[in-house]
Structure 1
């Protein structure tokens, strides 16, 4: 067995193979269009690689994707050391080939490849929809995964916040957000946020359904950024930086009203340790164990210990 990078033709072949798992409610044609557009986005063009585990006869046994993302180590004096981490997505083995250890072999070979990918490598991150045991075998360890869920509500979204944010201001809004005060963290780029908005655009066109009227809001120094997950009728918070309980409530009330106007069924915020105390007092907040997207981390750098409480905002999902 060997690990190889996929050609464009092989990527298309894998799209057809994994459509039943990830494609609906889109048609096959719609799913292929979605994948092509996401891969054509500037962030993916710069950071995406598709990997194949191949047998000696060239048969593809399993596949996955990696996206390079920025990560940072914080020194005792507060200074930051930038590094490279790799988010792993779309791990797939055809049903006829399952139960033979191919996914584990893929993960092991990939980790060895990523350890050599950059002189400033930090870690690998994946978000498992099949639980933890499969990836524990390859050295990954899970972190807590909780969601805060809110029901949409009628009302004017701009009431109680300073302003609503259009998609064109996502980058400037990200720049004003506080970075976590922890020894190690990941941080998205504006292009990475726009990749999520490209998903929103695609589903809005293909399903079709209206896009939300805003992609975030500010209240004082506090900021929330969100996007629509069209296939699950969810307004998903990408990044959340609330400085006070009052600001947290105002931002989430705005999100709930945006969701209501867009005809969405819920608002979801992934819990991060620093934000959790602010959310418990928000009216209508429901905390629940997340189904799927279990964050799992693996160090790729000798001596780098990854804490269980590493913050994982939705913006890191791929």
Structure 2
């Protein structure tokens, strides 16, 4: 068995096979158009590859995608060393080929390939099948809890200093504090816009509107959000919360934006830095739930990377 990078023709062929797994709400033609559109997005054009595990006869046994994303390693002196990490998505084996270890072999060969990249730091994936499969290839799971907040009536701009626009993702990211941990992932504005592109594709199927804003600021705190997929939810992509009052203001604005856009709820992925403010969310239409799928798992790709820690943040903006 060997690993190869897929051609565009092979990618289109895989789209036909993976439709049954990830084509919810769309026709086969609609799913193929979605995949083509997402691959045409600037972030995917620059940083996405599709990989095939092939047998000795050249037949495809399994496939996946990788997206390069930013990451930082803190040196012993405290300075930040930028690098490349790789988010892994769409791991797929056809039903008649399952149970033979092909997905595990794919992940092992892929890790060896990624380790050869000169700036490689770590691999990240979001498992919908629990931790066991990917643990075989050295991935370790992080905590996965969500907060669900009900929509609220009112003007989203009321409780905050400003609402953010989609074309302001770069400056907004520049406001966010980087995590004070030995190693962390950090998305760029194109990566966040890729999430919003998914919402632009799905909005016509969901009976709602695209949010008019992409986030908000309150004091020194910042939140980024969007309709990002096939559920009519306002999803928080990044949250830099610096005080209880500012956190309340940002989440209240999110609830109002969800209401204005006809969305069913706000979904916030819990991060370690949110801990001081979690009590604020209890009651009043907010509750904490164990995440259903999208379990973040991390594998180091270079010697000297710190052990995977529950304190490592994995915001929704990193998901692929």
Fold shared by both chains (TM-score > 0.5)? yes
- CA RMSD, 1 decimal: 1.2
State how far apart, in whole Å, the 1-side matches of 2:102 and 2:70 are. Answer: 29
What is the TM-score with the length of structure 1 in the denominator? 0.97
Match of 1:27 in 2: 27
State how far apart, in whole Å, the 2-side matches of 1:76 and 1:230 are. Answer: 40
Contact 2:23 2:31 in 1 (8 A): yes
State how far apart, in whole Å, the 1-side matches of 2:229 and 2:259 are. Answer: 14
Greater CA deviation, 222-231 or 60-69? Answer: 222-231
Contact 1:73 1:82 in 2 (8 A): yes
Offset of residue 55 of structure 1: 1.0
Contact 1:149 1:268 in 2 (8 A): yes
Offset of residue 76 of structure 1: 4.2
Aligned length: 317
Deviations 1:235-275 (A, max 9, x none): 10000011101111110111011111111111111111011
Match of 2:152 in 1: 153
Tell me the secondary structure at the aligned position of residue 280 of structure 2: coil
Offset of residue 128 of structure 1: 0.2
**Stretches of 4+ aligned residues off by more than 3 angstroms:** 205-209
State how far apart, in whole Å, the 1-side matches of 2:87 and 2:228 are. Answer: 19
1:10–1:206 distance in 2 versus 1, CA, 3 Å: farther
State how far apart, in whole Å, the 2-side matches of 1:148 and 1:78 are. Answer: 33
What is the TM-score with the length of structure 2 in the denominator? 0.96
State how far apart, in whole Å, the 1-side matches of 2:90 and 2:279 are. Answer: 33
Q: Kindly indicate whether residue 315 of structure 2 is the aligned counterpart of residue 313 of structure 1.
A: yes
Match of 1:97 in 2: 97
Contact 2:199 2:230 in 1 (8 A): no
Residues 197-208 of structure 1: matches in 2 within 5 Å?
197-205=196-204
1:207–1:32 distance in 2 versus 1, CA, 3 Å: farther
Match of 2:293 in 1: 292
User: Is there any run of 5+ residues in structure 2 with no aligned partner, and where?
Assistant: none
Residues 118-129 of structure 1: matches in 2 within 5 Å?
119-129=118-128
Offset of residue 284 of structure 1: 3.3
Residues 171-250 of structure 1: matches in 2 within 5 Å?
171-205=170-204, 209-250=208-249
Offset of residue 195 of structure 1: 0.8
Offset of residue 206 of structure 1: 5.3
State how far apart, in whole Å, the 2-side matches of 1:221 and 1:59 are. Answer: 54
State how far apart, in whole Å, the 2-side matches of 1:207 and 1:257 are. Answer: 19
Match of 1:107 in 2: 107
